[in-house]
Structure 1
Amino acid sequence: MSDMPHHTQIWTYRTPRARLLLWGGWLALVALFVWCWQIMTKDTIWFFVQSAPTQAADIGGRMVPPAWGYLPELMVPLWDTINIATLGTIGGVIMAVPVAFMAARNTTPSATILRPIALFIIVASRSINSLIWALLLVAIIGPGLLAGIVAIALRSIGFVGKLLYEAIEETDARQIEAVAATGASGAQVLSYGIVPQIMPAFWGISVFRWDINIRESTILGLVGAGGIGLKLQASLNVLAWSQVTVILLLILATVVLSEWVSARMRHAII
């Protein structure tokens, strides 16, 4: 019996073609990064970049110690900020509920007309930052708390509407069919078949959005929409860095507290 040569095939994780494509993709990604970096830094003054650590250390030294005596003046602006977030969230939720029902496939009155309109409203709201909304509203209705409240509300429509219409579409169809089988009207099916299923998600989404709006409302004053951001802008304009420290610490404490309250409320609801 003659010995036959045995050809053993060596297994590899990727084929030569796959390895070539992988390396080509990495080279293309590096080339894209270099090209974007050149575009972004073409007007950069590198002398200022080199002196940035020195400037940061200088400003950091001026921010210490904090001007704690400035704290009482921030209580009213902080309360305004909380009101902007709260009222804006309520307004956004009220406007987002009908939009969500029109956007959901299983509740929309018209899949060809109203649903695309509702989806467009959701996308438009989510694509424009609250700071831009505030900037536009300050130019339209003037500076003040109202501009901030409306800006937060318009920004909240997209967030609440998107998550809520997804929750509506994920409702259990068997419960809805059971209610409809009793001869209930469309409004009764909505009230007893859909709404009870989405209420935990509704409250969770609303509280979560309020928590986000607390953070966003702290900077709306930079464009004149009221709140503690006005004090921050005023302190930055006069280079009162010790006051800036107090404002930043107060904003941090407020955000941490709102995060805790939001988590406790979501836990109690869900």
Structure 2
Amino acid sequence: MTDPTTLPADWSFRSRSARLAIWAGWLSLVALFVWCWQVMTETTIWAFVWDAPRQAGDIGGRMLPPEWGYLPELMQPLWDTLNIATLGTVGGVILAVPVALLAARNTTPSAAFLRPVALFIIVASRSINSLIWALLLVTIIGPGLLAGIIAIALRSIGFVGKLLYEAIEETDPKQIEAIRATGAGPAQVLTYGVVPQVMPALWGISVFRWDINIRESTILGLVGAGGIGLKLNASMAVLAWDQVTVILLLILATVVVSEWISAAIRRAII
């Protein structure tokens, strides 16, 4: 071990050039932050910003007390929202499974062509928010629950496909080699070697995505894709803030219950 007393008197932890580089990096970050702040706020009307606390207090006062008599009218839209999330999740999982098999290195039949295509589908699905999918689908096929279901399914492909193909690539190759050594064909190797190893992960991923989809489906009605979002949009349009309070509390309760259900299912499966 080096004796500290033998070090040069002018020794420092970093060299002069390293310290200058660090300071230059910090100054660049500060300059970037200032520039971004100017770009984001160049169209801001600061009079509205300073008045925001008063406006928030005014709206908060109108939201209380909640209009609990409005609650029965929300049961059907809430049921529609749950159906959008559930059917969209099922559709997304069904579509994501073959995509994941094509994306995984150890199951894809063509690493040069099919795997890049599958990865592109996964990235494209994850890059577009479900609200944007719903907006596009409402324009194409019209408003309603079908647009919401397809939007949730398209959004779920990327999430489920990415996590599932990673789980497939992490399977134990010894079990697969043992099944292949018996003379099993590709379909049998997949059925008996890969599927049993990834099924717990698939169930866990599906339940987790269903929980996320319930939250996302609550706002699809804002663009006409059905569900409780339609009621929220209608109440906000007529400034019925006491009804908005009931809707927000119902959404919160639904998300809490779905979180508890999904956590219980994942504990039971995994």
TM over 0.5: yes
Instruction: Give every structure 1 segment of 4 or more consecutive aligned residues whose post-TM-superposition deviation is greater than 3 Å.
Output: 6-13
Residue 51 of structure 1: SS of its match in structure 2? helix
CA distance in 2, matches of 1:253, 1:11: 62
Change over 3 Å in CA distance of 1:18–1:65 after alignment to 2: same
Say whether 1:78 aligns with 2:81: no
**Identity of aligned pairs, percent?**
80
Per-residue deviation, 1:76: 0.4
Q: Give 1:179's aligned residue.
A: 179
**Cα 1:23–1:190, aligned 2, differ >3 Å: closer, same or farther?**
same
What is residue 62 of structure 2 aligned with on the other side? 62
Tell me the CA shift for residue 7 of structure 1: 6.8
Which residue of the partner structure matches residue 32 of structure 1? 32
CA distance, structure 2, for counterparts of residue 8 and residue 124 of structure 1: 57
Task: Look up the match of 1:3.
Answer: none
**Aligned counterpart, 1:144:** 144
Partners of 1:254 and 1:22 in 2: how far apart?
49
Instruction: Give the structure 1 partner of residue 209 of structure 2.
Output: 209
2:259 corresponds to 1:259: yes
- Could you tell me how far apart the structure 2 residues matched to 1:91 and 1:219 are? 19
1:244 match: 244
Report the TM-score, using the length of structure 2 for normalisation: 0.96
Letter in 2 for 1:120: F
Distance across 2 between alignment mates of 1:8 and 1:32? 38
> 1:7-55: per-residue Cα shift (whole Å, max 9, x none)?
7446533332222111111110010011011111111111011100000
**SS of corresponding position for 2:250:** helix
Cα distance in 2, alignment partners of residues 143 and 11 from structure 1: 71
Matched residue SS, 1:226: coil
* Residue aligning to 2:3: none
Cα deviation digits, residues 165-208 of structure 1 (max 9, x gap): 00001111111000101111111111111101101100000000
Cα-to-partner distance string for 1:95-127 (whole Å, 9 max, x where unaligned): 000000000011001111111111110000000
Distance 2:20 2:8 in 1: 24
Structure 2 residue 234 is matched with structure 1 residue 229: no
Distance in 2 of aligned mates of 1:10 and 1:92: 64
Q: For residue 90 of structure 1, what is the aligned residue in structure 2?
A: 90
Gaps of 5+ in 1: 1-5
Name 1:111's counterpart in structure 2: 111
Which whole-Å CA distance do the structure 1 matches of 2:34 and 2:57 have between them? Answer: 30
Distance, in Å, in 2 between the alignment partners of 1:95 and 1:7 is 65
- Aligned residue in 2 for 1:16: 16
Q: Distance in 1 between matches of 2:31 and 2:8?
A: 40
Correspondences of 1:40-51 after superposition (within 5 Å): 40-51=40-51
Q: C-alpha root-mean-square deviation of aligned residues, in Å?
A: 1.1
State the distance in 1 between where 2:7 and 2:191 align.
72
Q: Which residue of 1 aligns with 2:191?
A: 191
Q: In the aligned structure 1, how far is the partner of 2:228 from the partner of 2:216?
A: 11
> Aligned runs of 1:114-129 on 2, under 5 Å?
114-129=114-129
Q: 2 CA distance for matches of 1:8 and 1:224?
A: 73
Opposite residue 240 of structure 1, the aligned amino acid is: A
Deviations 1:67-115 (A, max 9, x none): 1110000000000000000000000000000000000011001111111
Tell me the SS of whatever aligns to 2:162.
Answer: helix
* Alignment partners' CA distance in 1, 2:113 and 2:7: 66
| 1:237-265, Cα deviation, whole Å (9 max, x unpaired) | 00000000000000001001100000000
Q: Give the structure-1-normalised TM-score.
A: 0.96
Distance, in Å, in 2 between the alignment partners of 1:111 and 1:71 is: 54
Query: Structure 1: which amino acid aligns with 2:206?
Result: S
